[in-house]
A and B are shown apart, each in its own frame.
Chain A
Amino acid sequence: MQIILQARGASLQALFFVAISVAMMVVDHRFNHLEVVRTNISLALTPLRYLVSLPATGGNWLSDWFTSHTDLLEENERLRAEGRILNARLQKLEILAEENARLRSLLGSARKIADDVIVAELLSVDQNPYRQLIEINRGSSDGVEIGFAVIDDFGIMGQVIHVNPQSATTILISDPEHAIPVQFVRSGTRSVAFGRGSTTQLELRYLPATADIMVDDELVTSGLGGRFPPDYPVARVTAINEDRVRGFVTVFAEPKARLDSSREVLVIKPRLQSRQQ
């Protein structure tokens, strides 16, 4: 009798937990009420994340330590040369930026040229193979907020979707649930690039067959939607797929940012899009 009662108790308990789990999933999927729970658990798990990233950090440190003298000299030389080239380019850029500002002021549109950035480092990469999320080591205490764009030195990587005090979760532009408004540099055509779950491919759906698109065209952010600052490089067109029957074109593009290998990233505070006279 006792055993039967116990068994029944366990079944009821199991049913209870199953019901709670299902309820939690529904609430988590539809609303944001459980965000607090998630944030607190994530916060408690932060030391573990640091622990997990230790081997990689340690490995980097060791390889730095054992880099030979000649390697360093060579690298130094190369960096100096690169610095000179970059400096030369920078001068040109500064002139262009000045000219740009002047022209803008002529047009009467005041827009901040320099974006505020926060330098961050990658803490851990995506634990779920079906999503493309990364964790960075700057959080709300550093001024990071949900919706901030994240870039590396080659282009847009993604945007912040979740903020903890010391870290933030970033969704990459290659996540199947992510879409980014873009513009073709050459033709000016606007479109939206969807992630496909692969770090090497984005997809632009339902472009008109008459759109002026060629392989190797550059894509930049269009700034529409207000999430991403305009004119940052996003991707390069790799393939164009024509659907003659429906009269649409699907374009595939390779992200510029090194989504799977960048460790240092920049978080961009969105600029004020004021258009005051």
Chain B
Amino acid sequence: MSRLRYLVIYLSLVVALVLMILPLPDWVQIYRPNWVALVLIYWSMALPKRVGLWFAFFTGIILDASQGTLLGQHTLALVVVIFINMNFYQRIRVLALAQQAIYVFVLLLINQLIVAWIEGIMGRPTPLLAFFGAPFVGMLIWPWVFVILRDIRRKAILK
């Protein structure tokens, strides 16, 4: 039974993945926040013992396969972001939501930097607006992601 509760984590990641592959009009597309990164950051903050680098690695591979990017591109970005988060989560957890959001913005920017960097190496430059736009939207959405996932976590009594 207690094992079953952790399904919530996987379910939330699946929902994030659906949000990532949902077709959007071109002009909204570039502002699509990295839902998977947001959800993963939350869980690694809330349950650092359970959601760590292994999680980031496998989620990244699935994200890469679904996005048509190089296998390893999002993986690398997520592993780095979650690793940074593992070193800071204790200090960040106690901050106000707005302050957390700024921290998340930095994490998403690092994520974006790595992905865009690899795109750049392969000769596909990322437009400036897209580069900053998506992490910015992610920052604005963070408080809601946090509150919703926290409620879900409390309902499922995950520790």
Considering only CB atoms, which chain B residue lies closest to A15 in the complex?
A: B83
Distance of A176 Cα from B80 Cα, bound (Å) = 29
Q: Secondary structure at chain B's binding surface: helix, strand, loop or mixed? A: helix
Report whether B70 and A13 are in contact in the complex, using a CB–CB cutoff of 8 Å: no
A-B contacts at CB below 8 angstroms, number: 106
Q: CB < 8 Å: which of A10, A24, A28, A131 contacts B53?
A: A10
Report whether B70 and A130 are in contact in the complex, using a CB–CB cutoff of 8 Å: no
Report whether A25 and B71 are in contact in the complex, using a CB–CB cutoff of 8 Å: yes
Stretch among A43-51, A98-106, A213-221 lining the B interface: A43-51
Q: CB < 8 Å: which of B21, B30, B79 contacts A127?
A: B21
Report whether B57 and A20 are in contact in the complex, using a CB–CB cutoff of 8 Å: yes
Number of B residues whose C-beta is below 8 Å from A? 39
Report whether B75 and A24 are in contact in the complex, using a CB–CB cutoff of 8 Å: yes
Q: Taking the complex as formed, is B20 at the interface, i.e. its CB lies under 8 A from any CB of chain A?
A: yes
A-B residue pairs, 9 tightest by C-beta: A24-B72, A41-B65, A21-B76, A25-B72, A21-B72, A14-B83, A28-B71, A17-B79, A21-B75
Given contacts A10-B86, A21-B57, 9 further A-B contacts (CB under 8 A): A10-B52, A17-B75, A22-B72, A29-B122, A37-B71, A41-B61, A48-B66, A124-B23, A127-B67
26 A-B residue pairings within 8 Å (CB atoms): A14-B80, A14-B83, A17-B53, A18-B76, A21-B72, A22-B76, A23-B72, A24-B72, A24-B75, A25-B71, A25-B73, A28-B72, A37-B71, A41-B61, A41-B62, A42-B65, A45-B62, A52-B21, A52-B23, A124-B21, A127-B21, A127-B23, A129-B29, A129-B130, A169-B68, A176-B124
